[in-house]
Structure 1
């Protein structure tokens, strides 16, 4: 993630910028405060994750050595999805027994940090992906935590060795966290996580289906017909000849091939759906709105999944 440079107040003074001049630059929009005493030239990035990454960098520059970006802040630096997380405060962890605190812009956690729990990302100390997943799974609601766990695994889906290493690291972090608050919840999240879940919407859909008591689907089901391979679907119940598809706007962006427009992708998806239905497959589609109240969608799926 490309971020603008951060200028500290002390450095600005050394370059001859007085306090009055800094205030004028702030009012004119030539500078933007990231935190007290830290600024970027011009405006800060628009998207919340990039803004938060700037805040993490600025906060760590003001903290003594030993502070490690963690929890939601670590998720941002690892470029994991932050659905369901609050990014108002920078989260850091220190290897202390006590002394945690929450302030206006900083949440200081205190907990043991094993050497394997710490990575460097863009030059910043940050909890490892495995430790980040477990920390968030201990402290977030199940759905938000699963989004992160699925995404961490999915990022390695094409590298079986690295994927297995992450699974091992998750087990090791959970073992070290035995007895910590929220550890049972974290174990449930890690057990349910699946690298085949390819988006926030698909992860949330898995939770919604489980809560509705629906049969567990096959993820990324490869469908074949008389003429061979037809396509891969988000969710499948092969024995019931039923397909479930989550339709988020980002899905059609992922489907784009070089030189293809969004309209082309939508048309290709329509032809794919026609080919699937021609194989006597029932299909149920849903989008973001359905995830807020999955009852009607679950009812539609039950129509095809009942014995």
Structure 2
């Protein structure tokens, strides 16, 4: 995705635009303010993550000393999937132990920064993927942290050993015990936030940990389907149904209806092998006890 150009006021002035012309363009929507003295041509993107990235890049250009983008701002800059983390403030980390502050636009953290904790992403100094995941795992809710950690592992942005090393370097920091739980729970096979959140919901509702990306095969070993979750010993599989997931399955010339029909045929083939099939969607995750009951009924059915 192409990064929109951020226009500093001094560049506009150098191009001959007086302050009153800048104010006029802001009034007409030709320019949109990102932060004080920095603008975007046209309207701001509707996507909250994209807006945060613009603010983060604008803030990065003004950072001094050894300060770097960090936490959720770094996660988005690296391309990690983020869910359930507030995006109202840009997060920055400065080396040190005191002096952190939270303002109306910027959350400044203070913490030691090793040389390998800092990388350059498109001209912006930011914490590495491993350090970013570790920082979020220490400071956000467990479910949100698992989404980020799964994303880093599934997308091969970082190896598990790198995440473990980052956590080891902050073993006595606040939140480190929770962060270790997050990493122990993280799974490189979890494809997207729906699957990550579903795994957390299963654990909270006493559902045994499933196999992920399980291949259902015929008696002759022929592939029938790859499912999100499976409990082979209970002859049960499960699928998280998300709109984004079905969008990924679209092939050239296919419609959403074509994909749904193919999914139905695939499910019928799985059921023909005497596997129980349970499905849920985004709206079901907050009310997961209902889904858990359906899973248990499938576990207990005679096969």
- What is the TM-score of this pair, normalised by structure 2? 0.96
Query: What CA distance in whole angstroms lies between the structure 1 residues aligned with 2:4 and 2:297?
Result: 53
Query: What CA distance in whole angstroms lies between the structure 2 residues aligned with 1:21 and 1:251?
Result: 45
Residue 159 (structure 1) aligns with: none
Between 3-12 and 290-299, the greater mean CA deviation after superposition: 3-12
Residue 87 (structure 1) aligns with: 87
Residue 48 (structure 1) aligns with: 48
2:12 paired with 1:4: no
Query: What CA distance in whole angstroms lies between the structure 1 residues aligned with 2:96 and 2:28?
Result: 43
> Cα RMSD over matched residues?
1.4
Q: Structure 1 residue 46: deviation in Å?
A: 2.1
CA contact (8 A) 1:220 1:234 kept: yes
Residue 249 (structure 1) aligns with: 243
Query: What CA distance in whole angstroms lies between the structure 2 residues aligned with 1:84 and 1:183?
Result: 20
Residues 84-142 of structure 1, C-alpha deviation per residue, up to 9 Å, x if partnerless? 01111110111122111111110111101111111111121111111111100000000
CA contact (8 A) 2:94 2:111 kept: yes
Gaps of 5+ in 2: none
Q: Structure 1 residue 63: deviation in Å?
A: 2.0
Residue 22 (structure 1) aligns with: 22
- Match of 2:12, SS state, is helix
- Match of 1:7, SS state, is strand
2:118 paired with 1:125: no
Query: What CA distance in whole angstroms lies between the structure 1 residues aligned with 2:177 and 2:64?
Result: 33
CA contact (8 A) 1:142 1:185 kept: yes
CA contact (8 A) 1:32 1:41 kept: yes
Residue 187 (structure 2) aligns with: 194
Query: What CA distance in whole angstroms lies between the structure 2 residues aligned with 1:142 and 1:44?
Result: 31
Gaps of 5+ in 1: 157-161
Residues 177-200 of structure 1, C-alpha deviation per residue, up to 9 Å, x if partnerless? 011000001000001000110011
Query: What CA distance in whole angstroms lies between the structure 2 residues aligned with 1:10 and 1:65?
Result: 22
In the alignment of these two chains, the number of paired residues is 300
Q: Structure 1 residue 305: deviation in Å?
A: 2.0
Between 113-122 and 202-211, the greater mean CA deviation after superposition: 113-122
Residue 218 (structure 2) aligns with: 225
